[in-house]
Amino acid sequence: MAKNAAQQIVLDDELDELIDGLRQPEMMISPKYFYDERGSQLFDEITRLPEYYPTETELGIMQDNIDEIASLVGRQASLIEFGSGSSLKTRILLDHLDELAAYVPVDISEDHLLQSAQQIREEFPDLDVLPVVADFTQPFRLPTPRVMPVRNVVYFPGSTIGNFTNDGAQELLAVMHGEAGADGALLIGVDLQKDPAIIEAAYNDSAGVTAEFNLNMLRHLNREFGADFDVDAFTHSAEYNEDEGRIEIRLVSEQDQEFTVGSQSFSIGKDEAILTEYSHKYTLDGFAAMAETAGFRVKRVWTDAGRLFSVQYLVRD
Ligand code: TRP
């Protein structure tokens, strides 16, 4: 596909970043490359797998506690979603929150954001939907709704916080604290530490969808950056690291091999790996301590009967 000059510059920067990751002591590739069209479809499939408990569990927690959630959020709030907001969980909130001043989805991927914002407008014609194209890991300017919000409530579902390093998560919470403003709050999905067998099964499903999702990243890079990964010579690995409290997802090389990305060639030995994602799991105390460092106090925690997952309402001190 022919690229215009601006697109080419973005690609060059991304290529530099990609090469930089592969030059680290442990090779790594940013998880953002999971999500080409096929990757997004596969992730959608993951959320419906019997072993992948987070999506369904979080949804259940939202449904079971929506009245209490709505009363904590209060009337005429502005709901600021970090992410493009295409999930069923967002719709449950929009259905139940009282006289929302605005719904502000924030995402870096403009096409996807505007498409899902349009979808939300059609489903909620009276709602002031104000999408913001931004990298939400950095402070950004909020739009001004038609109606003055009573408070800002940041929404961050899916335990996506767990995909950041601890430092990254801490910084992101600080950005959320800033965007929430005085009297603001954060409603966040947080996956919990539990029997590692349950966690590992969630990322090693028996149908092999997660493996396919992980490997698809290499196909994406071959297509987008003219890389030449031999996709069949890598295997999916997801292991729970108990010391760090996180699942670590890698692509393991099945043989000594070489590959090129841009003009650079790399060699990787048999059983060596490329790190593609972390997914941190938290204790309630551990998460509260992290939130506190960012200036949030945990006001309410909802969990499921099996204590697999939590939804938490944090307020600014
Ligand atoms: N945010 C999801 C999670 O950490 C992403 C995810 C689910 C994922 N399954 C995966 C990422 C498999 C990489 C590989 O649970």
Residue count (the chain): 317
- Residue 87 has what pLDDT? 84
- Which ligand 1 atom is at minimum distance from the Cα of 47? 7
Which tokens sit at 169? 């998560």
- List the residue whose alpha carbon is closest to atom 11 of ligand 1: 277
Contacts of 178 (CB under 8 A, 6+ apart): 139
- Spell 101-126 as b/e; 16+ CB within 10 A means b: bbbbbbbeeeebbeebbeebeeeeee
- Give the dihedral sign, CA 258/35/171/299: negative
- Residue 2 has what pLDDT? 60
Q: Crossing angle, helix 166-180 and helix 284-293, to 10 degrees?
A: 60
Spatial separation of the C-alpha atoms in residues 233 and 292, rounded to whole Å:
45
- Which ligand 1 atom is at minimum distance from the Cα of 276? 13
- Residue 317 has what pLDDT? 77
- Which ligand 1 atom is at minimum distance from the Cα of 163? 4
Contacts of 278 (CB under 8 A, 6+ apart): 162, 163, 165, 246, 247, 248, 249
- List the residue whose alpha carbon is closest to atom 2 of ligand 1: 160
The rounded Cα 216 to chain-centroid distance in angstroms is 18
User: Cα(204) to centroid of ligand 1, in Å?
Assistant: 11
| Phi, psi for residue 182 in degrees, rounded to 5 | -55, 140
From residue 302, alpha-carbon distances to 101, 119, 194, 198 in Å are 25, 29, 16, 20
312 lines ligand 1 (CB under 6 A): no
Check: pTM over 0.95? Answer yes or no: no
- Residue 7 has what pLDDT? 72
Contact 224, 36 (CB under 8 A): yes
- Which ligand 1 atom is at minimum distance from the Cα of 214? 14
Largest distance between two CA atoms of the chain: 61
For residue range 63-117, what is the model confidence (pLDDT) as tens digits?
999 999 999 999 999 999 999 877 899 999 999 998 999 999 999 889 889 999 9
- List the residue whose alpha carbon is closest to atom 3 of ligand 1: 279
Mutate to test the pocket of ligand 1, among 46, 214, 235, 274 (most ligand atoms within 8 A of CB): 46
User: Cα(100) to centroid of ligand 1, in Å?
Assistant: 31
214 lines ligand 1 (CB under 6 A): yes
131 lines ligand 1 (CB under 6 A): no
CA torsion angle for 307, 310, 316, 317 (degrees, to 10)?
Answer: 0
CA torsion angle for 288, 290, 291, 295 (degrees, to 10)?
Answer: 120
279 lines ligand 1 (CB under 6 A): yes
Q: Which residues of the chain have pLDDT under 50?
A: none
For residue range 243-272, what is the model confidence (pLDDT) as tens digits?
999 999 999 999 999 999 988 999 999 999
